[in-house]
Amino acid sequence: MDITFLHGLKVECIIGIWEWERAAKQSVIIDLDMASDVARAAASDDIKDAVDYKAVAKRLEQFVGESQYQLVETMAENVARLLLEEFGLPWVRVRINKKGAVSNARDVGIVIERGKK
């Protein structure tokens, strides 16, 4: 299995359960590992045969930026579903980091892996 990755995608969104969290956008950092077979893209040297990580980034900036989830778990699940369905990926690992959510902790978040059923 080959992996195309996109790490450190920063998106501003409404996320959280507390009233003050829902009043203003916060940053989340998204890391993605996306399974694909890169052999066809390597042979053709054509973006149409590859996972277009720029298109993935733009789509997630729009999707997550417009979202208003309470839980990062819900956000991660919906990001994974979007990637599997819209980009035809067989498997993804989604890591969402909500920096600053816990005082005295640098990073806090969730990592999920999902595949086509």
Question: Average pLDDT of the chain?
Answer: 95
Residues 44 and 39: their CA atoms lie apart, in Å, by 9
Task: Please report, rounded to a whole number, the percentage of residues in the chain having pLDDT higher than 70.
Answer: 100
What pLDDT shows up at residue 117? 74
Q: Over range 58-69, report the average pLDDT.
A: 97
Q: What band does 1 get if pLDDT is binned at 50, 70 and 90?
A: confident
> Is there a catalytic annotation at residue 98?
yes
Taking the model in full, what pTM does it have?
0.93
Query: What domains appear along the chain, each with residue ranges and CATH number?
Result: 2-115 (3.30.1130.10)
Shortest CA distance to 36 belongs to which of 4, 6, 81? Answer: 4
69 contact partners, CB below 8 Å, separation of at least 6: 13, 14, 15, 75, 78
What pLDDT shows up at residue 82? 98
Structure tokens at 41: 């893209």
Residues 1 and 37: their CA atoms lie apart, in Å, by 6
Q: How far is CA 108 from CA 16, 29, 70, 115, in A?
A: 13, 10, 15, 24
| pLDDT, tens digit (0-9, with 9 covering 90-100), for 67-117 | 999 999 999 999 999 999 999 999 999 999 998 777 888 889 999 999 987
What pLDDT shows up at residue 23? 94
Could you say which of 98, 99, 116, 117 is catalytic? 98
